[in-house]
Structure 1
Amino acid sequence: MAALDLLGRRWTLRILWELSQAPAGFRDLQRRCERMSSSVLSTRLAELSGARLLTLHEDAYRLTPLGAELVDALGPLTAWSHRWAEDLER
Structure 2
Amino acid sequence: MKKPGLPSRGSTTGRPIMVLLDVLGQRWTLRILWELTQGPATFRELQKRCDGISPTLVNRRLAQFRDLGFVAKGKQGYELTQLGQELSEQFISLESWANRWAEEWAQEMPEA
TM over 0.5: yes
Q: Which has the higher contact order (CA 8 A, sep 6+)?
A: 1
Q: CA RMSD in A?
A: 1.6
- Structure 1 residue ranges without an equivalent (≥5): none
Tell me if 1:28 matches 2:65.
no
Identical counterparts, % of pairs: 46
**In the alignment, what sits opposite 2:63?**
46
Instruction: Map 1:48-87 onto structure 2 (within 5 A).
Output: 48-58=65-75, 60-86=77-103
**In the alignment, what sits opposite 1:12?**
29
Q: How many residues align?
A: 90
1:22-73 CA-to-partner distances (Å, cap 9, x unmatched) read 1000000000001010011100001111100000112500000000000112
**Separation in 1, partners of 2:20, 2:67:** 12
Point out the structure with the larger helix share: 1
Taking structure 1 as the reference length, the TM-score comes to: 0.88
Bigger radius of gyration: 2
- Structure 2 residue ranges without an equivalent (≥5): 1-17, 108-112
